Chains A and B, each alone.
Chain A
Amino acid sequence: MSHVVVDPVTRIEGHLRIEAEVDGGQVQDAWSSSTMFRGIELILKGRDPRDAWAFTQRICGVCTTVHAIASVRAVENAIGAKPPPNARVLRNLIMASQCIQDHVIHFYHLHALDWVDVVSALKADPEKTSALAQSISDWPLSSTKYFAGVKTRLKDFVERGQLGPFANAYWGHPAYKLPPEANLLAVAHYLEALDWQRDFIKMHAILGGKNPHLQSFLVGGMATPVDPDRQASINMGSVARMKELTARARDFVTKVYLPDVLAVASFYKDWAGVGGGVGNYMVYGEYPETDDDKPPLFLPSGIIRNRNLGKVEPLDPAKITESVKHSWYEDGAGQPLHPREGLTQPKYTGPKPPYERLETAAKYSWLKSPRYDGEPMEVGPLARMLVAYGSGHKRVQELVGTALKSLGVGPEALFSTLGRIAARCVETVLLTEKIDGWVDALAVNMEKGDLRIHDTGKWDPSSWPKEAFGAGFHEAPRGALGHWVHIKNGTIANYQCIVPSTWNAGPRDGSEKRGPYEAALLRTPVADPKQPLEILRTVHSFDPCMACGVHVVDVQRRELARVRTP
């Protein structure tokens, strides 16, 4: 039995530590720990609720829009502000751009090196690489000459002897299965994706002034004026530019990302049987299509239990609870407190740094353990695609069906490490198809003469109730995100977040049920405990975002019951 520690888990956002027991070439048990805490919810107390989006936005600079969105929704929900249609469309555009860009970066820059052996690419025949590229896509950068250039660049880089971020990795590990030409193709697209993401995210500069940390959110709407006849507003020039960016995104995603995922997956089909995890999935739903109180959502909400795609249950937020048995917080005497009194204090009881091992039988993470109806839930792209699939979303069923068919596997393959990668890609394709329509919607609305961007009547705190509770839900790239706010006399009395990576990366709960990472790692093969590449594969397939996951305040049933989905 080897005790394997992976800390830092790299190519993620934030600070994650995995400890695992490996025996007989497999993970026998695993513990997921978040090792960083900031206390942002404590910092928010007493502040102007209209500022909260900027504070919470800084929870994460990777998914740099998601906490701002959840925050303005929570405050709007509390004070009864109603963003006008332009604000809804602008937010949909921002959210979808975030998701598209984030998913592509995740595949190429955070996850690919678990599957792609960069050193092996040096052995590739550029002609074979070209043939492979042209057999899977009509993306124009596919000539022999092009790949020969990439290979030369890589060769020169390696021969200079300074491997930089590629040093000390698991190159040559027996779990790498791609032939050299596929590795070279992936290296070329790693570099192309680096350029593409920088270009595409100009969507956020148009809509939010800059990226990271867009600066156009407002409680009650958006700060981006829209007017086809003004220079200082979102106008038809902005519309034209966004249409060009979204068209290029569609091109890149369908001609590079999707074919690459299918090609890589075809060499790793055994990973469709690894990393399944808890088998329960939760989705809040996203992309409101109208301005009604309960708008139809482009991606539906719901719960799937025990991998049963035939039954999608409606989401009941009252069933969400949290455990701190294994988290570094005061237990609050184990008694659930009323939300207005609910206060959980951080209390570190782990080993004093520097340390070798965490006390995994006791408390071992800054994350808590959220549960739905007492069960751990996986959230994220796979959950969203499964719930949409099970709810009869036609386009999702088509895209998932096509992907499964091309790999020659059945729907059961989705419940796996590979399934997460495929679902993330399918969602990206879906959103690149959809996003252009929101650009058009903005143009159409402006043409009608509707230039409203803000519910101005609810801006001044004197228009708010003396005391109010609100909740804001959002489907972030990494999954279901919720913010809860308690406002008293115009300032924040309490603020709380339950974040996707808390659901996925949290430790064991009060009944010792493992969190999704921990469960997914069980029976993951490990060829060499000193080079736990396979552990990284399964953990990375969730796209960890640890800074997001850490929060401090308990959520109570009563408060959650008043939550409404976006």
Chain B
Amino acid sequence: MGSREGWLAGELRRRGISRRELLLFSAGVAGTFGLPASAASQIAAALTRAKKPTLVWLEFQDCCGNTESFLRSSAPSVGEVVLDLLSVDYHETIMAAAGFQAEDALKGVVKDSAGQFIAVVEGSIPTGADGAYCTIGGRSALEIARDVCGKAAATIAVGTCATYGGLPAASPNPTGALGVADAVPGVKNLINLSACPINAANLGALLTYYLTYKRWPPLDGFRRPLFAYGKTIHDNCERRAHFDAGQYVEIWGDDAHRSGACLYKMGCKGPVTYQNCPTIRWNEGTNWPIGCGHPCIGCAEPDFWDRMTPFYKHLPNVPGFNAGAGIDTVGAALTVGAAAAFAGHGVLKGIQNSRKKRNGGANPPAESGPGGNAGSQP
């Protein structure tokens, strides 16, 4: 493989991408991580040295949304080069081969590259009906996940279904669906990229991190990289000033809504959701859900389909809530239906408990990440 070293440099030249542009791209990646600008040249150097590691992408009880997000990977042309950095040997949605030839491709990777390849998992893994709720090539999702993830150097669970069970695991979880951590306990180097779906920029950043540093990034208690899950939506929200000033949307399309006021009263889950949407935004920075006028639904959090619903009921209390003019209004609004729902439900409490539970769960933090569990969250 040594002879292939530097192919990316040639690739970049052929595609008319200058070293300067690569550095600019690397600076963008560094920015996503909050790394100093000096890291850009290190990233650029690593990208041009790298040979193509093998990646297989498994789809189980999924909607293909994470794959679609992957296809929207940003940074035109250079982003595509980053895709070329990997040898994607199995991905049902894009691969040319089908049937047993496709299965052979996967078996080949597991056999020949055991311990060296990256597995990406999209979709939850059903445990009911002896695995019959999801089969591929006649094999159950559970059997495939055990086989493939068990032999991978690292497994990246993409989307809330693969990380925590997601929608199929929402109450009453008719198929016994689980995320990778619970379905394949003890799997090596598991990284969770939750969200529904993932933001492609975070997957790109994660892979670049690995290719550059040859290790995985530090993770939070849910095994999510801190660079993307270190702060709440609320912390960085462009409407935060309206929250602090007590300026809220109360009716869809009212003056406050058109002016970009805070969506807290319309049910926004930004205060309890850890994700970098407000800073990286979506679709090459075009927009993001709160930017278009709809509350955050908390899609990066475990069990959000049960814990964050009803989506349009606002949170009963928010840590760090400004005790200014707005609080009385919010307090009054709490008595209208929402209070009952949330007092019984104990949303915040529940989320905190769930965090604790998973913190102390069966899966140790990533082995190669310094610090592993940074435990920075409430």
Interface residues of A, Cβ cutoff 8 Å to B: 5-15, 35-40, 42-43, 47-48, 50-51, 54-55, 58-62, 64, 105, 109-110, 113, 118, 149, 152-153, 156-157, 160, 162-170, 191, 194-195, 197-199, 201-202, 204-213, 215-216, 218, 220-221, 223-227, 230-233, 328, 346, 348, 350, 352-356, 451-454, 456, 459, 532, 536, 547
Contact = CB atoms under 8 A, between A and B. Distances in A.
A335 B25 CA distance: 63
27 contacts: A8-B92, A36-B134, A37-B175, A42-B172, A50-B310, A55-B170, A62-B68, A118-B96, A162-B89, A169-B95, A170-B101, A197-B72, A198-B283, A204-B283, A205-B286, A209-B290, A209-B293, A209-B294, A210-B282, A211-B72, A223-B292, A352-B132, A353-B138, A353-B143, A451-B253, A454-B252, A456-B252
Nearest to A218: B252
Contact of B131 (A225, A230, A353): A353
A232 B63 contact: no
Given A51-B309, A165-B96, A213-B196, A35 B135 contact: yes
Question: Which of the four size classes fits the interface of chain B?
Answer: 35 or more
B259 interface: yes
Contacts of A7: 99, 136-138
Interface-central residue, A36, A51, A59, A191, by most chain B CB under 10 Å:
A36
Interface string B119-158: 0000000100111111111111001000000000000000
Contact of A194 (B7, B80, B95, B134): B80
Contacts of A50: 310-312
Contacts of B64: 13-14, 60-62, 547
Contacts of B60: 36
Nearest to B89: A164
A50 B312 CA distance: 8
Nearest to A171: B96
A215 B297 contact: yes
B11 interface: yes
B109 to A, nearest CB: 10
A41 to B, nearest CB: 9
Interface in B272-294: 282-284, 286-294
B7 A209 contact: no
Contacts of A11: 92-96, 98
Nearest to B266: A223
Given A7-B138, A353-B135, A456-B252, A212 B69 contact: yes
A11 to B, nearest CB: 7
B16 to A, nearest CB: 9
A43 B172 contact: yes
A459 B290 CA distance: 20
Given A51-B309, A62-B64, A168-B105, A201 B72 contact: yes
A205 B93 contact: no
B14 interface: yes
Contacts of B21: none
Interface-central residue, A60, A164, A355, by most chain B CB under 10 Å:
A164
Which A-B residue pairs are the 8 nearest by beta carbons?
A61-B65, A232-B260, A39-B174, A169-B96, A210-B282, A209-B292, A205-B286, A454-B252
A72 to B, nearest CB: 13
A348 B260 contact: no
B253 A454 contact: yes
B140 A354 contact: yes
B231 interface: no
B1 to A, nearest CB: 9
Contacts of B287: 205-206, 209-210
Nearest to B16: A149
Interface-central residue, B71, B88, B98, B137, by most chain A CB under 10 Å:
B98
B67 interface: yes
Given A10-B102, A58-B65, A153-B15, A39 B175 contact: yes
Contacts of A5: 99-100
Contacts of B54: 162
B168 interface: yes
Nearest to A356: B138
Nearest to A59: B63
Nearest to B98: A10
Given A170-B97, A223-B252, 15 more contacts: A13-B93, A14-B59, A15-B136, A43-B172, A54-B297, A60-B65, A109-B71, A162-B54, A166-B95, A168-B101, A201-B283, A205-B283, A233-B293, A356-B138, A456-B251
Contacts of B74: 198
Contact of A223 (B69, B135, B177, B294): B294
Contacts of B91: 165
B87 interface: yes
Given A11-B95, A164-B87, A547-B64, A230 B260 contact: yes
B168 A213 contact: no
B260 A213 contact: no
Interface in B168-182: 168, 170-175, 177
Contacts of A547: 62-64
B233 to A, nearest CB: 12
B340 to A, nearest CB: 13
B97 A216 contact: no
B104 interface: yes
B101 to A, nearest CB: 4
B258 A213 contact: no
A350 B297 CA distance: 38
Contacts of B143: 353-354
Contact of B132 (A59, A212, A224, A350): A350
Nearest to B160: A58
A215 B294 contact: yes
A434 B288 CA distance: 27
A164 B71 CA distance: 16
A31 B72 CA distance: 34
A352 B130 contact: yes
Given A15-B136, A61-B67, A168-B97, A39 B168 contact: yes
A373 to B, nearest CB: 32
A64 B68 contact: yes
A415 to B, nearest CB: 25
B279 to A, nearest CB: 14
Contacts of B138: 7, 353-356
B98 A8 contact: yes
Given A212-B65, A221-B253, A37 B133 contact: yes
A227 B59 CA distance: 42
Contacts of A165: 88-89, 91, 94-96
